[in-house]
């Protein structure tokens, strides 16, 4: 059985940037539905008792397992997303991570621009990520629908959900404002 992990903060913690109402739907309905669907689909299969991340990797790019991949990857992505934010977050990281960002992007501001571009230009549903690639370099990547860098062996450092369900109640069509709020007030590196 796969579980819906508790949120690392209260439903109201990210207000006014993400409302409790958005959290109630996003975590309580959307995220829960991925976990519930995964449990139904995995029941009686080889995936039933596997760690979630392994299910994601083993079902990646296999059309016959697409429904399991989609729900497992969305469950993993959301677990990671909630931990990419905190109350009074946002702004520059510190220490070793800042040094790596400066090494690989030139500056924090250039990283910020790259992340904002990825998150706003992802067409349709998807995710924006800061990852450590297999060669050790930090990269900004975007993925469509449930797709996740974890499936390709990249190590996610932060992610932002840019499916409409993540921001529509609070921002309607203004995805760039949601991305700015995430970077300046919510992100937890
Ligand atoms: Mn979502």
Q: pLDDT (tens digit, 9 = 90+) per residue, 72-125?
A: 999 999 999 999 999 999 999 999 999 999 999 999 999 999 999 999 999 999
Q: What's the gap in Å between 61 CA and the centre of ligand 1? A: 21
β-partners of residue 77 are none
User: Ligand 1 center to residue 106 CA distance, Å?
Assistant: 31
Which pLDDT belongs to residue 98? 98
**Rounded distance from Cα 126 to ligand 1 centre (Å):** 9
How far away, in angstroms, is 99 Cα from ligand 1 center?
30
Query: Cα 150 from chain centroid?
Result: 11
Ligand 1 centre distance from Cα of residue 138 (Å) = 24
Ligand 1 centre distance from Cα of residue 70 (Å)? 12
Q: Separation of 63 CA from ligand 1 center, angstroms?
A: 22
Q: How remote is the CA of residue 46 from the centroid of ligand 1, in Å?
A: 26
Rounded to the nearest 10°, the torsion over CA 177, 175, 178, 165 is 150
Q: What is the pLDDT of residues 7-31, one digit of tens each?
A: 999 999 999 999 999 999 999 999 9
pLDDT for 88 equals 97
What percentage of residues in the chain have a pLDDT greater than 90?
100
Residues 120, 179 contacting (CB under 8 angstroms): yes
What confidence category does residue 183 fall into, taking pLDDT thresholds of 50, 70 and 90? very high
pLDDT at 136: 97
Q: How far is the CA of 66 from the centre of ligand 1 (A)?
A: 18
C-beta atoms surrounding 115 within 10 Å: 23
Q: Which long-range contacts (CB under 8 A, 24 or more apart) does 106-115 make?
A: 111/138, 111/140, 112/183, 114/140, 115/140, 115/160, 115/179, 115/183
Instruction: Compute the distance from residue 96 Cα to the ligand 1 centre, in Å.
Output: 29
Rounded distance from Cα 167 to ligand 1 centre (Å): 9
Cα of 165 vs centre of ligand 1, distance in Å, is: 6
pLDDT at 167: 98
Average pLDDT of 156-184?
98
Give 56-84 pLDDT, tens digit per residue.
999 999 999 999 999 999 999 999 999 99
**Residue 143: pLDDT band by 50, 70, 90 thresholds?**
very high
pLDDT reported for residue 97? 97
Mean of per-residue pLDDT scores for the chain? 98
* pTM of the model as a whole: 0.97
Mean pLDDT over residues 33-40, rounded? Answer: 98
Give the whole-number percent of the chain exceeding pLDDT 70: 100
What is the crossing angle of helices 66-82 and 52-59, to 10°?
Answer: 140
**Please, what is the Cα angle at 178 between 172 and 182, to 5 degrees?**
155
Cα of 166 vs centre of ligand 1, distance in Å, is 5
What is the per-residue pLDDT for 7? Answer: 98
């Amino acid at each position: 059985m796969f579980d819906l992990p508790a949120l690392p903060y209260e439903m109201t913690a990210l207000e006014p940037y993400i409302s409790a109402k958005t959290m109630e739907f996003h975590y309580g309905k959307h995220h829960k539905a991925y976990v519930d669907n995964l449990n139904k689909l995995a029941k009686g299969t080889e995936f039933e008792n596997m760690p979630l991340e392994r299910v994601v990797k083993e079902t990646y790019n296999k059309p016959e397992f697409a429904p399991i991949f989609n729900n497992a990857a969305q469950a993993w992505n959301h677990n990671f997303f909630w931990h990419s934010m905190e109350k009074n977050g946002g702004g520059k990281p510190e220490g070793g991570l800042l040094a790596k960002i400066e090494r690989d992007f030139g500056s924090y501001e250039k990283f910020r621009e790259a992340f904002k571009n990825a998150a706003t230009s992802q067409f349709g549903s998807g995710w924006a990520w800061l990852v450590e690639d297999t060669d050790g370099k930090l990269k900004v990547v975007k993925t469509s629908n449930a797709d996740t860098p974890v499936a390709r062996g990249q190590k996610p450092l932060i992610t932002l959900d840019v499916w409409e369900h993540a921001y529509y109640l609070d921002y309607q069509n203004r995805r760039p404002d949601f991305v700015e709020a995430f970077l300046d007030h919510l992100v937890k590196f």
